[in-house]
Amino acid sequence: MSLIGNQVKPAGTPIFAIEKIGVSFDPMKVVAIALEAGDAVMEIYKTEFAVQHKEDSSPLTEADLAANRIIKAGLAQLTPSIPILSEESLVEWEERKSWEYLWCVDPVDGTKEFVNRTDEFTINIALVENNRPILGVVHAPALKVTYFASREQGAFKIQDGGEPQQIKAKPIPVDGPIKVVGSRSHQSPAMVDYMNKLQETRSQIDFVKSGSALKFCLVADGTADMYPRLAPTSEWDTAAGHIVINESGKRVIQYGKDEELVYNKQDLLNPWFICE
């Protein structure tokens, strides 16, 4: 399959089907939606955009809203029967608690990275079934890289509009150096303590700083060995990266438990977790 601008040309791409609700589509169409949103975001990124702040003090820009409009319109056309939960279009628990399927969207993940112009922001789109992500796209438009995965079909990386390449995570080394990816903008005291304890058992730790859902992807493609997140995140921050991790051969488990993250909870905040 090849990518030319926003045009995705599949070549034998498996169709993603959910027989229970009569839905089927080419996963590359979700990639195309993310690419279209990414183009709109980049047009704004080139300007002297204004920054607002939401009630929780998190930043909001015109790019978040533009990407949200494009993604919601694209998904509504692709799968009209599947509802959408977006960071910029929240839905009350009473309405969504009965949802078996939903799209979980972060139009611009890493808005702080967007505002600070580090290029490490992403468009995240995930399909959730019974509280588990089953398809996801993480697109970093400024870096011209896209990761996508779907259940039992593997995880892939597209760089600079080239051919998708399947990716596999690396096992964590038993001993010796270890590469840990962590947030560029959010270093919690708990994370600092975790790293200090990890240093007691490792001869060398290479800390890789990254923004947004790219941290999941760096573990998935083998650039890093693990990603501990001991700070707040929301479901739209993690759902797309979660399925990319799973299909690369690793898991996203709750910190201190042998249980994966789940989605469409009443409280949309995630517990702490580790990708390993």
- pLDDT tens by residue, 14-32: 789 999 999 999 999 999 9
Q: Are residues 86 and 188 in the same domain?
A: no
Beta-ladder partners of 255: none
Report the CATH number at residue 252: 3.40.190.80
- Binned at pLDDT 50, 70 and 90, residue 185 comes out as low
Contact 127, 135 (CB under 8 A): yes
Q: How many domains does the chain have?
A: 2
Q: How far apart are the first and last CA of the chain?
A: 30
Asked whether residue 10 falls in the same domain as residue 127, the answer is yes
Is there a domain that residue 173 lies in?
A: no
Confidence bin at 13 (pLDDT 50/70/90): low
Mean pLDDT of 223-233: 95
Domain endpoint, select from 133, 166, 199: 166
Co-location of 134 and 255 in the same domain: no
Do 141 and 194 share a domain, yes or no?
no
Q: Is there a single domain that holds both residue 93 and residue 185?
A: no
CATH code, domain with 32? 3.30.540.10
Q: At residue 69, what is the residue type?
A: R
Whether residue 77 has pLDDT greater than 70: yes
Residues 110 and 219 in one domain: no
Q: Which amino acid is at 181?
A: V
Q: pTM for this one? A: 0.93
Q: How far is CA 267 from CA 59, 97, 124, in A?
A: 21, 11, 19
Question: What number is the average pLDDT over the span 185-194?
Answer: 82
Return d(Cα 145, Cα 218) in angstroms, integer.
12
| 171 domain-assigned | no
Burial 46-65 (b: 16+ CB within 10 A, else e): eeeeeeeeeeeeeebbbbbb
What is the rounded CA–CA span in Å between residue 53 and residue 1?
40
d(CA 256, CA 250): 17
Q: Based on the fold, state whether residues 96 and 126 are members of the same structural domain.
A: yes
Residue 143 and residue 29 share a domain: yes
Enumerate the β-bridge partners of residue 234: 269
User: Tokens standing for 83?
Assistant: 């509802």
- Domain match, 160 and 185 both: no
Please check whether residues 135 and 49 belong to one and the same domain. Answer: yes
Looking at the DSSP bridge assignments, the partners of residue 148 are 137, 156
The whole-angstrom separation of Cα 86 and Cα 255 is 25
Tens of pLDDT along 109-155?
A: 999 899 999 999 999 999 999 999 999 999 999 999 999 999 999 99
Does residue 130 fall inside a structural domain?
Answer: yes
| Domain with 263 in it | 178-275
pLDDT, the chain, mean:
92
Checking if the pLDDT of 169 tops 90, the result is yes
